[in-house]
Chains A and B, each alone.
Chain A
């Protein structure tokens, strides 16, 4: 027998007095009560259910995550820790909502310069580097704002080969204006080698804030 509510209305759909009572999903509660529901989608119930809110490599209710963890995650340090993203192509960076790829591609390391035209991010700029050479080349990243050097990375040459590595430059003070040109220069002291890299802009976000 169907459950009967306190007011005598059957939550299964047909009220004892002939009035149908429908249940509604609640974005703040994972419990699905017994009852009748109008057709809907889970992303309508909770708009936070979106690919851009799900980590890359995870799929939740059919939404394939695209988020490459940004600063604030466990791997935010700039102390040389490798950041491994198995089976990820550099172009996938462009899919991430919180990680907006500004330039992705294969470049010769010799004096490669990327100048994003997008407005400067709020919380800093991250650079992901995938070094694909077996050469033990000495390579450095230089981060400029308005033609003034802000940071220089340690050598990430052969030591980070075959790995993604994220180097995060955090200059919220200078980035706050939102209109300055960020220039990142990739320099190689050694023999020519290839690398994949993407520039990511880290925007204001409560749970990922720097």
Chain B
């Protein structure tokens, strides 16, 4: 599902961020139930540094479940069934739809993450 999220971090160039404070969408884990968010991957399709937003493709990934441990102590996993995945997909999609219904400002407040820091623009004629 494609959603728009506020971004945080520090912009230090036209398209580059501060490595110590990188630019990224606000943390999805703070926006929807973490057990749903942690099984999603996120791919940023584009950033809009003027609007301070990112368009993000959130993908509900296939999951695994731990079913035991082998003699060396490693976990033994099984892929979740289609029914389990579809159930999780439905729940996560509902949460993301609820998020999409909120304003970007509300999402930012829920995330408790700071606004994007941008270089101060020098007014024309004052360079």
A residues with CB within 8 A of B: 78-81, 132, 134, 136, 138, 140, 142, 144, 146-155, 158-163, 183
Q: Is the CB of A153 within 8 A of B75?
A: no
Q: Is the CB of B66 within 8 A of A154?
A: no
- Give me the 10 closest cross-chain CB pairs, A-B, nearest first: A147-B17, A149-B24, A162-B74, A159-B64, A146-B16, A154-B61, A155-B38, A161-B75, A80-B61, A154-B41
Q: Is the CB of A149 within 8 A of B44?
A: yes
Interface size class of B (residues with CB under 8 A): 20 to 34
Number of A-B contacts (CB under 8 A): 87
Known contacts: A80-B61, A148-B17. The answer to whether A158 contacts B66 by CB under 8 A is yes
In the complex, residue of chain B having the shortest beta-carbon distance to the beta carbon of A113: B19
Contact of A183 among B19, B25, B75 (CB under 8 A): B19
Q: Is the CB of B12 within 8 A of A147?
A: yes
| Smallest beta-carbon distance A86→chain B, Å | 14
Asked whether any CB of chain A lies closer than 8 Å to the CB of B39, the reply is: yes
Main secondary structure of the interface of B (DSSP, over half): strand
CB contacts under 8 Å to A, within B54-73, are 59, 61-66, 69-70, 73
B residues with CB within 8 A of A: 9, 12-13, 15-19, 22-25, 38-44, 47, 59, 61-66, 69-70, 73-75, 77
